[in-house]
Amino acid sequence: ADRALVNPKDVPEPALRRMLAANYRLGGKKNAQALVMAATRSDVPVSLREESLKWLQTWEKPSGRDVIVGLWRPMSPRPGADVAEALRPALASLMTGPDKIRTEGAKLAAKHGMKEIGPALRDLVKDKKRAAGVRIEALKALETLKDANLEMVAKAAMSDADARVRTQGRRIVLLKAPKAEAVDALKTTLESGAVVERQGALHLLADLKTPEGDKLLGHWVDELVTKKAPPEISLDILLAAKSSKDPAIAKKLAAYEATRDLKNPMSVYRESLVGGDADNGRRVFLEKSELSCVRCHKLNGVGGEVGPDLTHVAKVQKRDYLLESIVDPNKQIAKGFESVVIMTQTGLTHTGILKSEDAKSVRIMTAEGQLLTIPKTEIDERSRGPSAMPSDLATKMSRTELRDLVEFLSSLK
């Protein structure tokens, strides 16, 4: 990768990604330096610079899942000091890069306790021209670093024009405020705040764990049970209630859960229908390895062909269909993506999406993306198969991630 980075424009992006991934796997001091160098270079694609920084964040305890081929190939822990040594001289360059690089660079610097990045982070929070996500991550990094000016910056963020920035600032300030005062502030936010502020207030309310907070949370559980709560915050009320130790809340929660039809996935996951964050949903779709959405679905020309192209899915499908397709994929299988199970006369079984057939053969696309042509003279038995969409996808993400994924899919118009 060192040689490739001399002039990365001469290296195809997939090959460069493999080279960077090889450095991540090798795990030595020079390999950490190569990833940091890649992250600072403007002639390396931003997506690879961002990915390099994310790999560096998991350097000490890397995932056992190979980042290229997806196979389980565990790696030994590596010293974080190698990353810190390579990162420190590169901080200035990272903090002047694109927003995604600043975001991941801030996370990495905060993880390694680099307080010298504090002024740059404070400037990021104040810069209203930057994306909300960048400013929020800068606030989180300041919190991790226990920056001396954190409270001042967070208080200023509470009056920001962006509700997401306000929510993050409020969380930092109220966690340090007297609990009675914090509960009063959260009560006001829950009554009149934007959706994301109300969601944040409920999560913070659960963290406070005070009698006053439990009373306020109990009121919102009542609103949930009587179906008076806005659907966009129903999941947040549910999650806050589940974390509560208050017996009265537990009783109300049990009554609410008793209204579900456990045989109907749409009833089980109904709170994930609305209220998600589309940006987080995009990350779930593209980056969550347990789901591997792009392995089967195309998005803007990139991805597999086993499932429908989702580039404009929200133009033709409503939100409830999108949720159902994830939690109950066999309920409605998209036209043209019905699967078949074929058993040959030699005893082999093939399962895939029916792509085409004629008088002589059947062509199917397997889950691995392989196109098979099976002569009809060799077919012993043929039947309709289940959806190629895994039936357990909902169990591989949190309900919040599911809600975010639905929000992202519903934005694809």
Q: Which of 213, 146, 154, 220 is nearest to 190 (CA)?
A: 220
Q: How many CB atoms lie within 10 A of CB 155?
A: 13
CA distances, 89 to each of 52, 56, 166, 410 (Å): 16, 15, 32, 42
Strand 361-365 with 349-357, pairing: antiparallel
Instruction: State both tokens at 150.
Output: 């954190």
Contact between residue 354 and residue 364 where contact means Cβ atoms under 8 Å apart: yes
Which residue matches tokens 């991790």?
144
Contact between residue 200 and residue 167 where contact means Cβ atoms under 8 Å apart: yes
The answer for residues whose C-beta is within 8 angstroms of residue 9's C-beta and 6 or more apart is 43
φ, ψ for residue 59 (rounded to 5)?
Answer: -55, -50
Strand 371-375 with 379-384, pairing: unpaired
Q: Which of 29, 152, 54 is nearest to 111 (CA)?
A: 54
Cα dihedral across residues 349, 353, 355, 356: positive or negative: positive
Distance from C-alpha of 320 to C-alpha of 22, rounded to nearest angstrom: 42
Q: Note down pLDDT in tens along the chain; length 413 residues.
A: 455 565 667 788 888 999 999 999 999 999 999 999 999 999 999 999 999 999 999 999 998 888 887 788 999 999 999 999 999 999 999 999 999 999 999 999 999 999 999 999 999 999 999 999 999 999 999 999 999 999 999 999 999 999 999 999 999 999 999 999 999 999 999 999 999 999 999 999 988 889 999 999 999 999 999 999 999 999 999 999 999 999 999 999 999 999 999 999 999 999 999 999 999 999 999 888 788 787 778 888 887 777 788 999 999 899 999 999 999 988 887 777 778 889 999 989 988 888 888 999 999 888 777 889 999 999 999 888 777 787 888 999 999 999 999 999 999 98
Contact between residue 173 and residue 203 where contact means Cβ atoms under 8 Å apart: no
* DSSP reduced 3-state for 369: coil
Contact between residue 225 and residue 256 where contact means Cβ atoms under 8 Å apart: yes
Contact between residue 333 and residue 384 where contact means Cβ atoms under 8 Å apart: no
